[in-house]
Amino acid sequence: MKRDEVVALLAAHDALATRHKELASSHAELAAVNEELTRQIEWFKRQLFGPKSERRVVDSDGRQLSLGEWANGDQQAEKITVGEHVRQPRSKRHEEDESELRFDESVPVEEILLGEADGEPGAEVVSEKVTYRLAQRPGSYVVLRYIRLVVKKKDGTLSCPPAPRGVLGKSFADVSLLTGIAIEKFRYHLPLYRQDQRLKAAGIRFARSTLTDWMQRTASLLEPIYQAQLESILSSSVLAMDETPIKAGRNKQKRRMNTGYFWPIYGDKKEVAFPFSPSRSAGMVRQVLSEYAGVLLSDGYRAYDSFAAQLNDVVHAQCWSHARRQLLKAEGVEPELTAQALDWIRRLYEQERKLSSLAGAAKLQQRAERSKPIVDGFFAWLKRELVERVLLPSNPWTKAAHYALDREKSLRVFLEYPDVPIDTNHLEREIRVIAIGRKNWIFAWTELGARDVGIFQSLLTTCRLQGVDPYTYLVDVLQRIDEHPMSEVDTLTPRLWKEHFAGDPLRSDLERLTSQ
Protein backbone atom coordinates (compact mmCIF):
# COMPACT_ATOMS: atom_id res chain seq x y z
CA MET A 1 0.00 0.00 0.00
CA LYS A 2 1.35 3.37 -0.95
CA ARG A 3 2.29 5.98 1.62
CA ASP A 4 -0.38 8.41 0.40
CA GLU A 5 -3.08 5.78 0.86
CA VAL A 6 -1.89 5.01 4.39
CA VAL A 7 -1.92 8.69 5.29
CA ALA A 8 -5.45 9.03 3.87
CA LEU A 9 -6.66 6.03 5.82
CA LEU A 10 -5.14 7.34 9.03
CA ALA A 11 -6.75 10.73 8.44
CA ALA A 12 -10.10 9.09 7.79
CA HIS A 13 -9.67 7.02 10.96
CA ASP A 14 -8.92 10.10 13.03
CA ALA A 15 -11.95 11.87 11.55
CA LEU A 16 -14.15 8.90 12.35
CA ALA A 17 -12.76 8.72 15.89
CA THR A 18 -13.43 12.43 16.38
CA ARG A 19 -16.92 12.02 14.97
CA HIS A 20 -17.48 9.04 17.27
CA LYS A 21 -16.51 11.10 20.29
CA GLU A 22 -18.84 13.90 19.21
CA LEU A 23 -21.70 11.48 18.72
CA ALA A 24 -20.98 9.79 22.06
CA SER A 25 -20.95 13.16 23.80
CA SER A 26 -24.14 14.21 22.03
CA HIS A 27 -25.75 10.90 22.97
CA ALA A 28 -24.84 11.38 26.61
CA GLU A 29 -26.29 14.89 26.59
CA LEU A 30 -29.49 13.73 24.89
CA ALA A 31 -29.78 10.84 27.34
CA ALA A 32 -29.45 13.25 30.26
CA VAL A 33 -32.05 15.59 28.73
CA ASN A 34 -34.37 12.66 28.07
CA GLU A 35 -33.97 11.47 31.67
CA GLU A 36 -34.74 14.94 33.00
CA LEU A 37 -37.79 15.37 30.75
CA THR A 38 -39.05 11.92 31.70
CA ARG A 39 -38.68 12.83 35.36
CA GLN A 40 -40.58 16.08 34.81
CA ILE A 41 -43.40 14.27 32.99
CA GLU A 42 -43.67 11.77 35.83
CA TRP A 43 -43.75 14.64 38.32
CA PHE A 44 -46.54 16.37 36.40
CA LYS A 45 -48.47 13.11 36.29
CA ARG A 46 -48.22 12.81 40.05
CA GLN A 47 -49.39 16.39 40.46
CA LEU A 48 -52.39 15.83 38.20
CA PHE A 49 -53.41 12.30 39.05
CA GLY A 50 -51.48 11.28 42.15
CA PRO A 51 -52.41 11.74 45.81
CA LYS A 52 -51.94 15.27 47.14
CA SER A 53 -51.29 14.26 50.75
CA GLU A 54 -47.66 14.14 51.87
CA ARG A 55 -48.39 11.37 54.34
CA ARG A 56 -46.58 8.16 53.47
CA VAL A 57 -48.30 4.98 54.68
CA VAL A 58 -45.97 2.01 54.99
CA ASP A 59 -47.49 -1.47 55.28
CA SER A 60 -46.04 -3.31 58.25
CA ASP A 61 -45.33 -6.51 56.31
CA GLY A 62 -44.50 -4.76 53.05
CA ARG A 63 -47.44 -6.35 51.24
CA GLN A 64 -49.84 -4.25 49.20
CA LEU A 65 -53.51 -5.08 49.65
CA SER A 66 -55.29 -6.49 46.65
CA LEU A 67 -58.34 -4.85 45.10
CA GLY A 68 -61.36 -5.24 47.36
CA GLU A 69 -59.30 -6.40 50.35
CA TRP A 70 -59.75 -4.39 53.54
CA ALA A 71 -57.01 -3.76 56.04
CA ASN A 72 -58.86 -5.95 58.52
CA GLY A 73 -60.17 -8.36 55.90
CA ASP A 74 -58.16 -11.31 57.16
CA GLN A 75 -59.55 -10.94 60.67
CA GLN A 76 -62.61 -12.98 61.52
CA ALA A 77 -65.45 -10.63 62.41
CA GLU A 78 -66.95 -11.19 65.81
CA LYS A 79 -70.33 -12.89 65.60
CA ILE A 80 -73.34 -11.96 67.69
CA THR A 81 -75.82 -14.56 68.96
CA VAL A 82 -79.42 -13.33 68.89
CA GLY A 83 -82.23 -15.72 69.82
CA GLU A 84 -81.98 -18.85 67.69
CA HIS A 85 -79.57 -17.59 65.05
CA VAL A 86 -76.15 -15.98 64.60
CA ARG A 87 -75.75 -12.77 62.64
CA GLN A 88 -72.85 -10.57 61.63
CA PRO A 89 -72.44 -7.24 63.47
CA ARG A 90 -73.60 -4.11 61.67
CA SER A 91 -70.98 -1.90 60.05
CA LYS A 92 -69.98 1.11 62.12
CA ARG A 93 -71.36 3.47 59.58
CA HIS A 94 -74.80 1.89 60.06
CA GLU A 95 -74.67 1.61 63.85
CA GLU A 96 -76.06 5.11 64.39
CA ASP A 97 -79.86 5.05 64.31
CA GLU A 98 -81.66 7.70 62.30
CA SER A 99 -83.14 9.05 65.55
CA GLU A 100 -79.65 9.98 66.73
CA LEU A 101 -79.15 12.85 64.30
CA ARG A 102 -76.68 15.24 65.87
CA PHE A 103 -77.60 18.93 66.04
CA ASP A 104 -77.43 21.71 68.61
CA GLU A 105 -80.09 24.01 70.02
CA SER A 106 -79.54 26.67 67.36
CA VAL A 107 -81.09 24.43 64.66
CA PRO A 108 -84.86 25.07 64.27
CA VAL A 109 -87.10 22.02 64.66
CA GLU A 110 -90.53 21.69 63.04
CA GLU A 111 -92.81 18.95 64.41
CA ILE A 112 -95.10 16.85 62.23
CA LEU A 113 -97.64 14.66 63.99
CA LEU A 114 -98.47 11.32 62.35
CA GLY A 115 -101.39 9.09 63.43
CA GLU A 116 -104.20 9.79 65.85
CA ALA A 117 -106.21 7.84 68.43
CA ASP A 118 -109.54 9.70 68.02
CA GLY A 119 -110.73 7.51 65.15
CA GLU A 120 -110.60 4.27 67.15
CA PRO A 121 -113.16 3.71 69.98
CA GLY A 122 -111.38 3.07 73.26
CA ALA A 123 -107.94 3.80 71.77
CA GLU A 124 -105.45 5.87 73.72
CA VAL A 125 -101.91 7.10 73.15
CA VAL A 126 -99.55 5.10 75.33
CA SER A 127 -96.20 6.35 73.95
CA GLU A 128 -94.60 7.90 70.95
CA LYS A 129 -91.73 7.15 68.62
CA VAL A 130 -89.63 9.87 67.09
CA THR A 131 -88.02 9.81 63.66
CA TYR A 132 -85.78 12.64 62.48
CA ARG A 133 -85.22 13.85 58.94
CA LEU A 134 -82.83 16.65 58.07
CA ALA A 135 -84.59 19.05 55.67
CA GLN A 136 -83.60 22.24 53.89
CA ARG A 137 -85.37 25.41 52.82
CA PRO A 138 -84.12 27.29 49.75
CA GLY A 139 -82.00 30.33 50.61
CA SER A 140 -84.46 32.87 51.96
CA TYR A 141 -84.31 36.62 52.37
CA VAL A 142 -86.47 38.86 54.55
CA VAL A 143 -87.48 42.47 53.93
CA LEU A 144 -87.64 44.44 57.18
CA ARG A 145 -90.47 46.98 56.97
CA TYR A 146 -89.98 49.69 59.59
CA ILE A 147 -93.18 51.59 60.37
CA ARG A 148 -92.32 54.95 61.94
CA LEU A 149 -95.33 56.53 63.60
CA VAL A 150 -95.79 60.28 63.15
CA VAL A 151 -97.31 61.65 66.37
CA LYS A 152 -98.96 65.03 66.75
CA LYS A 153 -98.39 66.51 70.18
CA LYS A 154 -100.72 68.78 72.12
CA ASP A 155 -98.75 71.82 71.08
CA GLY A 156 -99.29 70.93 67.43
CA THR A 157 -95.74 69.79 66.71
CA LEU A 158 -95.11 66.50 64.93
CA SER A 159 -92.59 63.91 66.05
CA CYS A 160 -91.36 60.81 64.30
CA PRO A 161 -88.56 58.41 65.31
CA PRO A 162 -85.54 58.55 63.01
CA ALA A 163 -84.95 55.86 60.44
CA PRO A 164 -82.82 53.01 61.77
CA ARG A 165 -79.15 53.67 61.26
CA GLY A 166 -77.53 51.40 58.68
CA VAL A 167 -73.98 50.15 58.63
CA LEU A 168 -73.44 51.69 55.19
CA GLY A 169 -75.33 54.93 55.74
CA LYS A 170 -78.48 55.15 53.61
CA SER A 171 -77.92 51.77 51.98
CA PHE A 172 -80.90 49.41 52.13
CA ALA A 173 -78.59 46.51 53.12
CA ASP A 174 -79.08 45.31 56.68
CA VAL A 175 -76.01 44.24 58.65
CA SER A 176 -77.26 40.65 58.51
CA LEU A 177 -77.23 40.75 54.68
CA LEU A 178 -73.74 42.28 54.48
CA THR A 179 -72.43 39.65 56.87
CA GLY A 180 -74.19 36.84 55.02
CA ILE A 181 -72.75 37.89 51.66
CA ALA A 182 -69.24 38.13 53.13
CA ILE A 183 -69.51 34.74 54.82
CA GLU A 184 -70.84 33.12 51.64
CA LYS A 185 -68.00 34.48 49.51
CA PHE A 186 -64.99 34.36 51.80
CA ARG A 187 -65.78 31.35 53.96
CA TYR A 188 -67.76 29.20 51.54
CA HIS A 189 -66.24 30.72 48.37
CA LEU A 190 -69.52 31.47 46.59
CA PRO A 191 -68.79 34.19 43.97
CA LEU A 192 -70.89 37.34 44.01
CA TYR A 193 -72.40 36.62 40.60
CA ARG A 194 -73.83 33.34 41.93
CA GLN A 195 -75.20 35.11 44.98
CA ASP A 196 -76.80 37.61 42.60
CA GLN A 197 -78.43 34.71 40.76
CA ARG A 198 -79.77 33.35 44.02
CA LEU A 199 -81.20 36.75 44.96
CA LYS A 200 -82.99 36.99 41.63
CA ALA A 201 -84.34 33.45 42.07
CA ALA A 202 -85.80 34.63 45.40
CA GLY A 203 -87.54 37.53 43.65
CA ILE A 204 -85.11 40.31 44.65
CA ARG A 205 -83.58 42.38 41.87
CA PHE A 206 -80.94 45.07 41.82
CA ALA A 207 -77.69 45.66 39.93
CA ARG A 208 -74.98 43.06 40.46
CA SER A 209 -72.43 45.86 40.89
CA THR A 210 -74.26 46.78 44.09
CA LEU A 211 -72.92 43.60 45.75
CA THR A 212 -69.37 44.56 44.80
CA ASP A 213 -69.87 48.07 46.15
CA TRP A 214 -71.23 46.71 49.44
CA MET A 215 -68.22 44.42 49.92
CA GLN A 216 -65.75 47.22 49.15
CA ARG A 217 -67.40 49.58 51.63
CA THR A 218 -67.61 46.84 54.26
CA ALA A 219 -63.91 46.05 53.79
CA SER A 220 -63.11 49.76 54.29
CA LEU A 221 -64.96 49.67 57.62
CA LEU A 222 -62.99 46.59 58.69
CA GLU A 223 -59.60 47.85 57.53
CA PRO A 224 -58.67 49.56 60.87
CA ILE A 225 -59.36 46.26 62.67
CA TYR A 226 -57.23 44.42 60.11
CA GLN A 227 -54.37 46.91 60.62
CA ALA A 228 -54.61 46.47 64.39
CA GLN A 229 -54.42 42.71 63.98
CA LEU A 230 -51.42 43.06 61.65
CA GLU A 231 -49.61 45.11 64.28
CA SER A 232 -50.37 42.43 66.87
CA ILE A 233 -48.92 39.76 64.58
CA LEU A 234 -45.76 41.78 63.90
CA SER A 235 -45.15 42.02 67.66
CA SER A 236 -44.76 38.21 67.80
CA SER A 237 -41.43 36.73 68.82
CA VAL A 238 -41.86 33.99 66.19
CA LEU A 239 -43.41 34.72 62.80
CA ALA A 240 -44.18 32.32 59.95
CA MET A 241 -44.43 33.80 56.46
CA ASP A 242 -45.17 32.56 52.96
CA GLU A 243 -46.47 33.85 49.63
CA THR A 244 -49.23 32.67 47.32
CA PRO A 245 -50.33 34.04 43.92
CA ILE A 246 -53.65 35.52 42.87
CA LYS A 247 -54.88 36.95 39.57
CA ALA A 248 -55.60 40.60 40.33
CA GLY A 249 -55.90 43.61 38.06
CA ARG A 250 -56.36 43.57 34.30
CA ASN A 251 -53.42 44.15 31.97
CA LYS A 252 -55.10 45.89 29.04
CA GLN A 253 -52.02 45.78 26.81
CA LYS A 254 -51.48 42.02 27.14
CA ARG A 255 -55.22 41.33 27.51
CA ARG A 256 -54.82 39.14 30.55
CA MET A 257 -54.96 39.37 34.33
CA ASN A 258 -51.89 40.43 36.25
CA THR A 259 -50.41 38.13 38.89
CA GLY A 260 -50.27 39.54 42.39
CA TYR A 261 -49.33 37.88 45.68
CA PHE A 262 -50.65 37.50 49.16
CA TRP A 263 -47.93 37.38 51.83
CA PRO A 264 -49.70 35.49 54.66
CA ILE A 265 -48.09 35.82 58.09
CA TYR A 266 -48.94 33.79 61.19
CA GLY A 267 -48.13 35.16 64.64
CA ASP A 268 -47.60 33.41 67.96
CA LYS A 269 -51.10 34.40 69.24
CA LYS A 270 -53.06 32.37 66.65
CA GLU A 271 -53.66 35.32 64.36
CA VAL A 272 -53.22 35.45 60.57
CA ALA A 273 -52.99 38.35 58.13
CA PHE A 274 -53.01 38.32 54.32
CA PRO A 275 -51.26 41.48 53.07
CA PHE A 276 -51.50 41.91 49.29
CA SER A 277 -48.75 43.00 46.94
CA PRO A 278 -48.72 43.34 43.13
CA SER A 279 -45.35 41.57 42.92
CA ARG A 280 -43.15 38.88 44.49
CA SER A 281 -40.03 41.02 44.66
CA ALA A 282 -37.71 40.80 47.65
CA GLY A 283 -38.51 44.39 48.57
CA MET A 284 -42.07 43.38 49.42
CA VAL A 285 -40.85 41.33 52.39
CA ARG A 286 -39.32 44.47 53.87
CA GLN A 287 -42.46 46.46 53.08
CA VAL A 288 -44.73 43.93 54.82
CA LEU A 289 -42.53 43.19 57.82
CA SER A 290 -41.14 46.70 58.23
CA GLU A 291 -38.85 46.72 61.30
CA TYR A 292 -39.84 43.30 62.61
CA ALA A 293 -37.51 41.80 65.23
CA GLY A 294 -37.66 38.12 66.12
CA VAL A 295 -37.48 34.72 64.45
CA LEU A 296 -38.80 34.58 60.89
CA LEU A 297 -39.81 31.08 59.75
CA SER A 298 -40.23 30.58 56.01
CA ASP A 299 -39.57 28.34 53.02
CA GLY A 300 -36.39 28.50 50.93
CA TYR A 301 -37.25 31.64 48.95
CA ARG A 302 -34.12 33.79 48.99
CA ALA A 303 -36.06 37.01 49.61
CA TYR A 304 -36.55 36.05 53.26
CA ASP A 305 -32.88 35.27 53.72
CA SER A 306 -31.98 38.62 52.18
CA PHE A 307 -34.36 40.43 54.53
CA ALA A 308 -32.94 38.67 57.60
CA ALA A 309 -29.37 39.46 56.51
CA GLN A 310 -30.16 43.19 56.48
CA LEU A 311 -31.42 43.27 60.07
CA ASN A 312 -29.44 42.13 63.07
CA ASP A 313 -32.59 41.59 65.13
CA VAL A 314 -34.05 38.96 62.75
CA VAL A 315 -33.12 35.28 62.95
CA HIS A 316 -34.08 33.32 59.85
CA ALA A 317 -35.40 29.79 60.37
CA GLN A 318 -36.41 27.55 57.47
CA CYS A 319 -38.98 24.84 56.98
CA TRP A 320 -38.06 21.14 57.13
CA SER A 321 -41.18 20.22 55.21
CA HIS A 322 -39.91 22.13 52.15
CA ALA A 323 -36.54 20.37 52.37
CA ARG A 324 -38.40 17.07 52.46
CA ARG A 325 -40.41 18.00 49.37
CA GLN A 326 -37.22 18.66 47.44
CA LEU A 327 -36.02 15.16 48.30
CA LEU A 328 -39.34 13.68 47.21
CA LYS A 329 -38.73 15.04 43.70
CA ALA A 330 -35.76 12.67 43.42
CA GLU A 331 -37.68 9.56 44.41
CA GLY A 332 -38.16 8.34 40.83
CA VAL A 333 -34.43 8.73 39.99
CA GLU A 334 -32.72 7.76 43.24
CA PRO A 335 -35.28 5.74 45.23
CA GLU A 336 -32.75 4.22 47.65
CA LEU A 337 -31.09 7.51 48.59
CA THR A 338 -34.45 9.25 48.83
CA ALA A 339 -35.82 6.54 51.13
CA GLN A 340 -32.84 6.92 53.47
CA ALA A 341 -33.16 10.72 53.51
CA LEU A 342 -36.88 10.55 54.23
CA ASP A 343 -36.21 8.09 57.02
CA TRP A 344 -33.90 10.61 58.72
CA ILE A 345 -36.57 13.31 58.49
CA ARG A 346 -39.30 10.91 59.63
CA ARG A 347 -37.34 10.17 62.81
CA LEU A 348 -36.90 13.89 63.41
CA TYR A 349 -40.65 14.48 63.11
CA GLU A 350 -41.38 11.58 65.44
CA GLN A 351 -39.20 13.14 68.12
CA GLU A 352 -40.80 16.55 67.63
CA ARG A 353 -44.25 15.01 67.96
CA LYS A 354 -43.29 13.56 71.32
CA LEU A 355 -42.11 16.99 72.51
CA SER A 356 -45.23 18.88 71.39
CA SER A 357 -46.59 19.16 74.95
CA LEU A 358 -43.39 20.74 76.29
CA ALA A 359 -42.37 24.39 76.22
CA GLY A 360 -39.54 26.68 77.26
CA ALA A 361 -36.35 25.30 78.78
CA ALA A 362 -37.74 21.77 79.07
CA LYS A 363 -38.45 21.58 75.34
CA LEU A 364 -35.07 23.12 74.50
CA GLN A 365 -33.28 20.50 76.59
CA GLN A 366 -35.21 17.61 75.06
CA ARG A 367 -34.51 18.92 71.57
CA ALA A 368 -30.82 19.01 72.39
CA GLU A 369 -30.91 15.43 73.63
CA ARG A 370 -33.26 13.88 71.05
CA SER A 371 -33.60 16.02 67.93
CA LYS A 372 -30.09 17.45 67.60
CA PRO A 373 -28.35 14.04 67.14
CA ILE A 374 -30.76 13.24 64.30
CA VAL A 375 -30.11 16.61 62.61
CA ASP A 376 -26.34 16.16 63.00
CA GLY A 377 -26.53 12.66 61.57
CA PHE A 378 -28.70 13.74 58.64
CA PHE A 379 -26.37 16.51 57.45
CA ALA A 380 -23.27 14.35 57.97
CA TRP A 381 -24.91 11.59 55.92
CA LEU A 382 -25.78 14.03 53.12
CA LYS A 383 -22.20 15.31 52.89
CA ARG A 384 -20.80 11.77 52.90
CA GLU A 385 -23.12 10.55 50.16
CA LEU A 386 -22.32 13.52 47.93
CA VAL A 387 -18.60 12.71 48.24
CA GLU A 388 -18.81 8.93 47.87
CA ARG A 389 -21.38 8.73 45.07
CA VAL A 390 -20.67 9.98 41.56
CA LEU A 391 -23.82 11.90 40.66
CA LEU A 392 -24.26 14.60 38.06
CA PRO A 393 -25.07 18.12 39.27
CA SER A 394 -28.30 17.90 37.27
CA ASN A 395 -29.40 14.82 39.22
CA PRO A 396 -32.54 15.68 41.25
CA TRP A 397 -31.13 14.07 44.38
CA THR A 398 -27.94 16.15 44.09
CA LYS A 399 -30.04 19.30 43.80
CA ALA A 400 -32.18 18.31 46.80
CA ALA A 401 -29.11 17.51 48.91
CA HIS A 402 -27.52 20.87 48.08
CA TYR A 403 -30.86 22.60 48.83
CA ALA A 404 -30.74 21.22 52.38
CA LEU A 405 -26.98 21.74 52.89
CA ASP A 406 -27.12 25.35 51.66
CA ARG A 407 -29.79 26.02 54.29
CA GLU A 408 -28.29 23.98 57.11
CA LYS A 409 -27.85 26.97 59.41
CA SER A 410 -31.48 28.06 59.01
CA LEU A 411 -32.78 24.50 59.35
CA ARG A 412 -31.00 24.21 62.72
CA VAL A 413 -32.58 27.35 64.24
CA PHE A 414 -35.46 25.43 65.84
CA LEU A 415 -32.87 23.66 68.03
CA GLU A 416 -31.99 27.01 69.65
CA TYR A 417 -35.49 28.46 70.11
CA PRO A 418 -38.13 26.29 71.80
CA ASP A 419 -41.08 28.27 70.38
CA VAL A 420 -39.99 27.87 66.75
CA PRO A 421 -41.94 25.14 64.90
CA ILE A 422 -40.09 22.66 62.73
CA ASP A 423 -42.03 23.68 59.61
CA THR A 424 -44.57 26.15 58.22
CA ASN A 425 -47.39 23.61 57.89
CA HIS A 426 -49.54 25.50 60.40
CA LEU A 427 -49.43 28.52 58.08
CA GLU A 428 -49.96 26.51 54.90
CA ARG A 429 -53.18 25.09 56.32
CA GLU A 430 -54.56 28.62 56.58
CA ILE A 431 -53.52 29.51 53.01
CA ARG A 432 -56.00 26.95 51.70
CA VAL A 433 -58.78 29.54 51.87
CA ILE A 434 -56.98 31.50 49.13
CA ALA A 435 -56.36 28.41 47.01
CA ILE A 436 -59.98 27.27 47.26
CA GLY A 437 -61.16 30.79 46.52
CA ARG A 438 -59.06 30.94 43.35
CA LYS A 439 -60.88 27.85 42.06
CA ASN A 440 -64.26 29.48 42.64
CA TRP A 441 -64.13 33.23 42.10
CA ILE A 442 -60.92 32.71 40.01
CA PHE A 443 -59.58 36.29 40.13
CA ALA A 444 -59.97 39.76 41.59
CA TRP A 445 -60.91 42.28 38.92
CA THR A 446 -58.79 45.01 40.57
CA GLU A 447 -55.88 45.14 42.98
CA LEU A 448 -58.20 46.97 45.37
CA GLY A 449 -60.49 43.94 45.27
CA ALA A 450 -57.55 41.66 46.09
CA ARG A 451 -56.70 43.86 49.07
CA ASP A 452 -60.31 43.52 50.27
CA VAL A 453 -60.05 39.74 49.96
CA GLY A 454 -57.00 39.87 52.23
CA ILE A 455 -58.86 41.97 54.83
CA PHE A 456 -61.86 39.63 54.99
CA GLN A 457 -59.76 36.45 55.03
CA SER A 458 -57.48 37.82 57.75
CA LEU A 459 -60.40 38.35 60.11
CA LEU A 460 -62.49 35.30 59.18
CA THR A 461 -59.54 32.89 59.31
CA THR A 462 -58.50 34.28 62.69
CA CYS A 463 -62.09 33.83 63.90
CA ARG A 464 -61.80 30.14 63.13
CA LEU A 465 -58.42 29.89 64.89
CA GLN A 466 -59.84 31.67 67.95
CA GLY A 467 -63.05 29.60 68.06
CA VAL A 468 -65.24 32.64 67.29
CA ASP A 469 -68.39 32.37 65.18
CA PRO A 470 -67.65 34.63 62.18
CA TYR A 471 -71.29 35.59 61.60
CA THR A 472 -71.79 36.76 65.19
CA TYR A 473 -68.45 38.55 65.08
CA LEU A 474 -69.09 40.52 61.87
CA VAL A 475 -72.65 41.47 62.84
CA ASP A 476 -71.31 42.87 66.11
CA VAL A 477 -68.21 44.75 64.93
CA LEU A 478 -69.88 46.26 61.84
CA GLN A 479 -72.42 47.93 64.16
CA ARG A 480 -69.92 48.73 66.90
CA ILE A 481 -67.00 50.15 64.93
CA ASP A 482 -68.67 53.49 64.07
CA GLU A 483 -68.81 54.55 67.74
CA HIS A 484 -65.85 52.56 69.05
CA PRO A 485 -62.82 54.62 70.20
CA MET A 486 -60.05 54.50 67.62
CA SER A 487 -57.49 54.15 70.40
CA GLU A 488 -59.10 50.83 71.38
CA VAL A 489 -59.64 49.40 67.92
CA ASP A 490 -57.40 46.44 68.79
CA THR A 491 -60.16 45.14 71.11
CA LEU A 492 -62.27 44.50 67.99
CA THR A 493 -59.80 41.97 66.57
CA PRO A 494 -61.19 38.43 66.91
CA ARG A 495 -58.72 37.45 69.64
CA LEU A 496 -59.56 40.36 71.95
CA TRP A 497 -63.21 40.62 70.85
CA LYS A 498 -63.71 37.17 72.31
CA GLU A 499 -62.64 38.51 75.71
CA HIS A 500 -64.49 41.85 75.68
CA PHE A 501 -67.70 41.46 73.66
CA ALA A 502 -68.45 37.81 72.90
CA GLY A 503 -70.53 37.48 76.07
CA ASP A 504 -73.10 40.06 74.92
CA PRO A 505 -72.69 40.73 71.18
CA LEU A 506 -74.79 43.19 69.21
CA ARG A 507 -77.46 41.48 67.11
CA SER A 508 -79.24 42.44 63.91
CA ASP A 509 -82.88 43.54 63.96
CA LEU A 510 -83.78 40.32 62.15
CA GLU A 511 -82.29 38.21 64.94
CA ARG A 512 -84.09 40.25 67.59
CA LEU A 513 -87.42 39.75 65.81
CA THR A 514 -86.81 36.01 65.48
CA SER A 515 -85.98 35.63 69.16
CA GLN A 516 -89.17 37.39 70.34
Rg (CA), the chain: 33
Phi, psi values for residue 80, rounded to 5°: -115, 130
Query: What is the model's pTM?
Result: 0.80
Which runs of consecutive H residues, i.e. helices, occur in 439-505? Answer: 447-466, 470-480, 494-500
C-alpha–C-alpha distance, residues 38 and 49, integer Å: 16
**CA 234 to chain CA centroid, nearest Å:** 20
Beta strands in 396-455 (DSSP E): 443-444
Cβ 441 vs Cβ 189: under 8 Å: yes
| C-alpha torsion angle, residues 367, 368, 371, 377 (rounded to 10) | 170
The pLDDT of residue 108 is 80
CB neighbours of 431 closer than 8 A, spacing ≥ 6?
242, 244, 262, 264
pLDDT along the chain (516 residues), means of 10: 74 83 83 78 73 61 45 49 53 46 80 72 77 74 89 89 88 93 95 93 90 96 97 96 94 87 96 95 91 94 92 93 93 91 96 93 95 97 91 90 95 96 96 93 92 97 97 96 93 97 93 76
The pLDDT of residue 62 is 45
Strand ranges of the sheet holding 244-251, from the earlier edge strand across to the other edge: 276-277, 256-262, 244-251, 443-444
Report the candidate in 310, 295, 287 with the shortest Cα–Cα distance to residue 421.
295
H/E segment holding residue 277:
strand 276-277
**CA 274 to chain CA centroid, nearest Å:** 12
The pLDDT of residue 118 is 64
